[in-house]
């Protein structure tokens, strides 16, 4: 298959940002020019050794890269199957992979002489990462966040404000992530001369899906090198959770041409696919256009975007990144889901067995590893992306576990 590599970004997506049927640039005329300018500047920066040097400097000395690849020994022993390695993105500055991309884009914004940064955020993780890099460079920063999310994630609102960012609550519609993205796009159109919009995942109009993936591929580049050092061979399975899809694309991309490596993306199964209360776009979603890109969406027969649900705010979005849709069509990556209950049980399991409290998003990936490892031979290797740490989720998890009927626990709880 022909897959664009870092050195040759032109094959997939094509010049218009299409990954097969997906992606593209579905925006009003007023956004076309800023997107074309961004694309040109991004490609120029990507080829510039000075930009790469600067990026690497901050990734190492500010963010804390490389992150470790850690053999989860007690979890492996408990499951009596494949060896489980964790890529520790939870150890990065601000606690998740999001800063890899926020940092890359803020460096790009400086090259473009933009003095003002805006971003959308759902759970607040991308907002915190963006506010952090904006503070580091002394740039003005406005974060759009649904008013409902502001209440649910009050700690992250405070973090952003401490960092000097303005948090703008959005009261339109459902008052969550989708409305925050609309508001950020509106701001960008109005202030494009001074402002760069740091989009937080592999979604939106071209060049965002390509650019964000390339800023996140450091996860997979490091993991590939580290597993070869530790085990002398490639992993058998890669597992990552999929919200918009940036941590998963970042891990998967450098392995796409390794035919022996299976890849699994885990979406939010919420309260179950049949209940409709989930965010598993590949289970019951269909082709549509949302916020600049063509991809798989949860929508009704009239094309109205449906409400989604997940215990983890970071996976709770109606659309999935276009490159994932393309990889699924090509059967290169398998997509499955974990329910809220399975994620909660995986959250506890990792805390108790490994001393690591994962983000609830990442717990979806852990849940899948726990399901597949026992039936695999002990020589096999499962590499899981631990996309973030769970401090932000402790309060919510404690409440949910506290009021849970023991019968509602998933089968994973029996491993505790
Ligand atoms: C935002 C977030 C995600 C989901 O976003 P992707 O773009 O799919 O990676 C997953 N894990 C953590 C910890 C997050 O903060």
Q: pLDDT digit of tens for each residue in the chain (416 aa)?
A: 444 444 444 478 999 999 999 999 999 999 999 999 999 999 999 999 999 999 999 999 999 999 999 999 999 999 999 999 999 999 999 999 999 999 999 999 999 999 999 999 998 999 999 999 999 999 999 999 999 999 988 999 999 999 999 999 999 998 999 999 999 999 999 999 999 999 999 999 999 999 999 999 999 999 999 999 999 999 999 999 999 999 999 999 999 999 999 999 999 999 999 999 999 999 989 999 999 999 999 999 999 999 999 999 899 999 999 999 999 999 999 999 999 999 999 999 999 999 999 999 999 999 999 999 999 999 999 999 999 999 999 999 999 999 998 889 999 999 98
- Pick from 30, 32, 5, 29: nearest CA to 16: 32
Q: Which of 178, 387, 392, 410 is catalytic?
A: 387
SS3 55: helix
User: Tokens 């994630």 label which residue?
Assistant: 153
- Burial code of 341-363, b = ≥16 C-beta within 10 A, e = fewer? bbbbbbbbbbbebbebbbbbbbb
- Pick from 88, 121, 292, 289: nearest CA to 200: 121
Strands 334-339 and 262-270: parallel
Q: How far is CA 199 from the centre of its chain?
A: 11
> Hey, which residues does 267 pair with through a beta bridge?
337
Burial class (CB in 10 A: 0-12, 13-18, 19+), 251: buried
Ligand 1 proximity of 387 Cβ (cutoff 6 Å):
yes
Residue nearest to atom 15 of ligand 1 (CA): 125
Alpha helices for 259-408 (secondary structure H): 322-329, 340-354, 360-372, 394-402
> Hey, which residues does 358 pair with through a beta bridge?
389
Residue nearest to atom 3 of ligand 1 (CA): 314
SS3 25: strand
If one residue of 86, 315, 317, 384 were mutated to test the ligand 1 pocket, choosing by the most ligand atoms within 8 A of its CB, it would be 315
> Hey, which residues does 59 pair with through a beta bridge?
none
- Tokens representing residue 43 in the block: 């490609």
- Tokens representing residue 181 in the block: 């993205």
Q: How many angstroms separate the CA atoms of 353 and 76, rounded?
A: 10
If one residue of 96, 119, 202 were mutated to test the ligand 1 pocket, choosing by the most ligand atoms within 8 A of its CB, it would be 96
Alpha helices for 87-231 (secondary structure H): 98-111, 125-137, 147-152, 154-162, 177-190, 208-216, 218-231
List, in sequence order, every beta strand (DSSP E) within 17-125.
Answer: 18-19, 22-26, 69-71, 83-88, 116-121
Q: Which of 39, 89, 120, 323 is catalytic?
A: 120
Q: How many angstroms separate the CA atoms of 225 and 105, rounded?
A: 25
User: Tokens 């930009």 label which residue?
Assistant: 51
Alpha helices for 191-296 (secondary structure H): 208-216, 218-231, 246-252
183 touches 170 (CB < 8 A): yes
Q: Is 387 a residue of the active site?
A: yes
If one residue of 91, 98, 143 were mutated to test the ligand 1 pocket, choosing by the most ligand atoms within 8 A of its CB, it would be 98
Q: How many angstroms separate the CA atoms of 328 and 331, rounded?
A: 5
Q: Which of 98, 114, 178, 392 is catalytic?
A: 98
């Amino acid at each position: 298959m022909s897959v664009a590599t870092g050195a040759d970004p032109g094959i997939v997506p094509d010049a218009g940002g299409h990954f097969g049927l997906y992606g593209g640039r579905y925006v009003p005329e007023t956004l076309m020019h800023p997107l074309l300018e961004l694309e040109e500047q991004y490609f120029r920066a990507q080829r510039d050794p000075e930009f790469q040097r600067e990026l690497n400097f901050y990734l190492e000395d500010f963010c804390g890269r490389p992150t470790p690849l850690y053999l989860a020994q007690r979890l492996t022993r408990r499951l009596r199957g494949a060896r489980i390695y964790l890529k520790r993105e939870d150890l990065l500055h601000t606690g998740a992979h999001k800063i890899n991309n926020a940092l890359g884009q803020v460096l790009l914004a400086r090259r473009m002489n933009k003095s003002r940064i805006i971003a959308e955020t759902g759970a607040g993780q991308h907002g915190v990462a963006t506010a952090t890099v904006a503070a580091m460079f002394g740039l003005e920063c406005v974060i759009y966040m649904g008013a409902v999310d502001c209440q649910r994630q009050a700690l992250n609102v405070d973090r952003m404000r401490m960092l000097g960012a303005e948090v703008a609550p959005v009261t339109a519609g459902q008052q969550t992530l989708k409305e925050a993205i609309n508001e950020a796009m509106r701001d960008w159109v109005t202030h494009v001369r001074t402002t760069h919009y740091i989009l937080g995942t592999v979604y939106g109009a071209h060049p965002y899906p390509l650019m964000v993936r390339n800023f996140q591929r450091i996860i997979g580049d490091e993991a590939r090198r580290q597993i070869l050092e530790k085990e002398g061979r490639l992993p058998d399975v890669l597992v990552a959770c999929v919200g918009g899809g940036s941590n998963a694309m970042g891990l998967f991309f450098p392995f796409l041409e390794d035919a022996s490596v299976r890849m699994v993306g885990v979406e939010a199964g919420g309260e179950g696919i049949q209940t409709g209360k989930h965010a598993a776009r590949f289970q019951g979603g269909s082709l549509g256009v949302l916020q600049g890109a063509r991809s798989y969406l949860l929508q009704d027969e009239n094309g109205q975007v449906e409400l989604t649900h997940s215990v983890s705010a970071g996976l709770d979005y109606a659309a999935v990144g276009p490159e994932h849709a393309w990889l699924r069509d090509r059967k290169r990556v398998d997509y499955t889901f974990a329910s809220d209950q399975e994620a909660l049980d995986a959250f506890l399991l990792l805390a108790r067995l490994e001393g690591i409290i994962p983000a609830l998003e990442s717990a979806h990936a852990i849940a899948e590893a726990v399901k597949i490892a026992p039936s695999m031979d002990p020589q096999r290797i499962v590499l899981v992306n631990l996309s973030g740490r769970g401090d932000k989720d402790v309060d919510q998890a404690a409440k949910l576990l506290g009021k849970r009927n023991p019968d509602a626990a998933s089968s994973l709880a029996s491993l505790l």
